[in-house]
Every structure is written in C-alpha cells, then in structure tokens.
C-alpha cells in the first residue's frame, strides 16, 4: 500500500463583488475592480451583482439607474466576465437581499450605522438625507451574508462597511446560533489604484466636478489621448517613479504598468520626457480598451442576450439565497 501524500489543497473561495450603477465605468473601475475579478474567476467562486438598490440611497433618476445597470452589466461581460463560470445578476431581481436586510437591521445598532464615515460625509453634503443612506451598510451586509461570501475585494472607502458586516455576522451568530459565514476584506495584489489625471491626489471617479481627469471605458481614442496628454505632471525634467513626491508621473507610470505588465520603476527609465511617457500611456490605454469597446458594441446590438444572462444569474443565485434567508428566519424566531 502506498502512503497517500498529504495534499495542501486550497479550496476555491467564494468571492463577492458589488458594483453600484451611479455613473459610467472608468479606467479606475477596470484596473482596480473589474480586471482583478475577471482574472480570478477560474480560481475563486465568483459572484458579481449590480447594486441598483444602493443607487437609490441618494437623489437618482429612474431611467438613468436602469440604463447604467444594463451598461455596467454589458461592460462586465465585455471585459471578460464569463457568465458560465461567474454569477452575474441585478440585486433588485433577488428579493432575498431586502428580506435579509430587515432581519439584519434587528441586529444592528443605530449608533453603529451613524458612525460610518461614508454616511457622515455624504449626509453633511446633502439637504435631504434618505433614511436608506443610513441603513446602506446594513443592506451591504445582507448582500455579503446572503451568499456566505468568504472574501470581499474592497477599496479603502468600503473597508469600514466590511468591518460592520463582520461585526453584525458575529453578533447574530453569537445571539441566535451559527447562521452566517463571517466575511473578510481582501485587497487583490494586482489591482491598480488609478488617480485622477487632473488631480493625482484623488482617486479616479471621486471628483465629479470635471470629466477631464477621468478616462471612461467608452471614451473614443481621441478623447483618451486628449485627456492623457493634459494629465497633470510637475516641473521635473526626468521621468522617475516616486508616488510620494511625484504623484502625477507616478500615476501615469502605474497605468502604463497595468497595461503592459512591467514594473513602473523599469518603465520610468524608458522615457526621456513626460510627453513621450504620455504618448505611450495614451497608446497603451487605447490598446487595452479597444477590444473591450468592440465587444461592448457587439453586446449592445443584442440587449436580449445581456438581459437573459442577468435573469439566469438571478435564478442561479436564488437557491443559496433562499437557504440563507430560511436559516436566518429560523434562528431569529420566525420559523420553526
């Protein structure tokens, strides 16, 4: 008899990503969120959903939410998300999200929700604050716990919400018995944090005041080139990679690095001036986006296909979601 070798098998983790349809997708979304998810879809069990309910927590236009939801779904498919492998659906098409949301509100404190930095920032900036903006992180918690997600890739701005999700899951389990998987935040190693071209100290897409510093995934080549050529740099005469003191050139080098798959320090040495670097960046970004735009155009000609993918995604997601809601209802005292 031969001894069975001990295999350290890493089981695929269940990973969940939510995208909020409040704007057109840009290069920061692609390199920071979409591409890492697409790249990992064959290693991890992948669930991606369009958080259209979250888009209703601030002033919104109904038609725009609908359009952006479809646009973002189409873009995810165009960027390579494989609907036979990953689950892709629209949040509002799976009512279990809101059902679980209410149950979790019964395990969350008002103070806990009020302490969320994003709520505080957004609510002071608005005249009429929707109640749903306060409970937003609880809905996000429901999104995550519904699927027993183990890993949630998040940026800095969502890490406090993820802490809340962990707290609520842990508390619910302690109070009512083991019900939910406690999720954890992951930061994909290959994700690139893209900054505004017009203000390299703020994250791309955050400053809504101008579109000049944001490269949208559907921008035509001449617009991309113009935006890149106008990117803010500094008075330096040589190209060096130093994110701390030279954020403008560093951002360009990181974008180029993500497109051509070479380290930014190495790339810095290849360009003798900012204008040469910018030309290379513009070309690389155009090259990166061209196939995605072509595929997007193809998919747009057949909206029935995208809708079918989304409907099937919701159907596949339903099994596990129903099971989770049942578990939670039983634990909290609604079912026997």
- Asked if 104 touches ligand TRP (CB under 6 A), the answer is no
Considering Cα of 144, then 149, then 154, then 158, what sign does the dihedral take? Answer: positive
- Asked if 35 touches ligand TRP (CB under 6 A), the answer is no
* C-alpha to C-alpha distances, 166 to 121, 170, 192, 211, nearest whole angstrom: 22, 6, 26, 36
Structure token pair of residue 305: 């296909």
Taking CB under 6 A as the binding criterion, the range among 137-145, 239-247, 295-303, 322-330 that sits at the site for ligand TRP is: 137-145
> How many Cβ atoms from other residues are within 10 Å of residue 12's Cβ?
12
Residues 187, 150, 31: CA angle, nearest 5 degrees:
30
- Asked if 52 touches ligand TRP (CB under 6 A), the answer is no
- Asked if 133 touches ligand TRP (CB under 6 A), the answer is no
Pairing mode, strands 14-19 and 45-50: parallel
- Asked if 140 touches ligand TRP (CB under 6 A), the answer is yes
Residue number, 114 or 273, with CB nearest to ligand TRP: 114
- Asked if 76 touches ligand TRP (CB under 6 A), the answer is no
- Asked if 54 touches ligand TRP (CB under 6 A), the answer is yes
Residue 153 phi, psi dihedral angles, 5° rounding: -70, 120
In the bound state, the residue with its beta carbon closest to ligand TRP is 18
- Asked if 51 touches ligand TRP (CB under 6 A), the answer is yes
Element (H, E) at 87: strand 87-90
Candidates 52, 71, 99, 143: give the one binding ligand TRP (CB under 6 A).
143
* Shortest distance in whole angstroms from residue 303 CB to ligand TRP: 24
* Burial annotation 209-233 (CB, 10 A radius, 16+ → b, else e): eeeebbbbbbbeeeebbebbeebbb
Candidates 16, 37, 133, 288: give the one binding ligand TRP (CB under 6 A).
16
* Shortest distance in whole angstroms from residue 276 CB to ligand TRP: 35
* Shortest distance in whole angstroms from residue 256 CB to ligand TRP: 26
- Asked if 18 touches ligand TRP (CB under 6 A), the answer is yes
Residue number, 184 or 295, with CB nearest to ligand TRP: 184
Residues in region 177-196 near ligand TRP by CB under 6 A: none
* Beta-bridge partner residues of 216: 26
| Total of chain residues touching ligand TRP, rule CB under 6 A | 11
> How many Cβ atoms from other residues are within 10 Å of residue 128's Cβ?
8
- Asked if 146 touches ligand TRP (CB under 6 A), the answer is no
HEC profile of 249-291: HHHHHHHHHHHHCCCHHHHHCCCCCHHHHHHHHHHHHHHHHHH
Residue number, 20 or 278, with CB nearest to ligand TRP: 20
Candidates 41, 122, 132, 158: give the one binding ligand TRP (CB under 6 A).
158
* Shortest distance in whole angstroms from residue 158 CB to ligand TRP: 5
- Asked if 20 touches ligand TRP (CB under 6 A), the answer is yes
- Asked if 213 touches ligand TRP (CB under 6 A), the answer is no
- Alpha-helical (H) ranges within 3-130 are 27-29, 35-40, 62-78, 96-105, 110-114, 117-124
- Asked if 284 touches ligand TRP (CB under 6 A), the answer is no
Question: Ramachandran region of residue 261, left (φ > 0), alpha (ψ -120 to 50) or beta?
Answer: left
Distance CA 75, CA 222 (A): 20
Residue number, 143 or 196, with CB nearest to ligand TRP: 143
* Three-class DSSP category at 18: strand
Q: Give the interface with ligand TRP as residue ranges (CB under 6 A).
A: 16-18, 20, 51, 54, 140, 143-144, 152, 158
């Amino acid at each position: 008899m031969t001894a069975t070798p001990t295999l350290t098998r890493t089981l695929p983790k269940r990973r969940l990503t939510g995208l909020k349809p409040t704007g057109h997708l840009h290069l920061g979304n692609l390199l920071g969120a979409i591409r890492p998810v697409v790249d990992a879809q064959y290693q991890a069990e992948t669930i991606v959903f369009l958080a259209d309910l979250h888009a209703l927590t601030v002033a919104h236009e109904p038609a725009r939410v609908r359009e952006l939801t479809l646009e973002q779904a189409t873009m995810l498919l165009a960027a390579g998300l494989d609907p036979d492998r990953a689950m892709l659906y629209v949040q509002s098409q799976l009512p279990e999200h809101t059902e679980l949301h209410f149950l979790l509100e019964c395990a969350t404190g008002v103070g806990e929700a009020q302490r969320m930095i994003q709520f505080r920032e957004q609510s002071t900036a608005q005249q009429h604050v929707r109640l749903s903006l306060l409970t937003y992180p609880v809905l996000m918690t429901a999104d995550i716990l519904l699927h027993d997600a183990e890993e949630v890739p998040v940026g800095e701005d969502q890490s406090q919400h993820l802490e809340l999700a962990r707290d609520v899951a842990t508390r619910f389990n302690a109070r009512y018995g083991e019900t939910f998987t406690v999720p954890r935040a992951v930061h994909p190693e290959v994700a690139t944090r893209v900054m505004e071209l017009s203000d390299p100290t703020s994250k791309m897409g955050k400053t809504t005041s101008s579109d000049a510093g944001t490269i949208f995934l559907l921008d035509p080549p001449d617009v991309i080139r113009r935006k890149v050529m106008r990117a803010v740099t500094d008075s330096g005469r040589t190209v060096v990679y130093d994110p701390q003191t030279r954020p403008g050139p560093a951002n360009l080098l990181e974008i180029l690095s993500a497109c051509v798959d070479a380290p930014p320090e190495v790339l810095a040495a290849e360009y003798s001036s900012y204008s040469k670097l910018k030309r290379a960046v513009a070309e690389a970004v155009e090259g990166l986006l061209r196939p995605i735009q072509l595929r997007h155009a193809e998919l747009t000609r057949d909206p029935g296909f995208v809708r079918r993918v989304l409907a099937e995604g919701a159907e596949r997601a339903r099994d596990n979601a129903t099971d989770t809601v049942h578990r939670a209802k039983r634990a909290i005292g609604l079912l026997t």
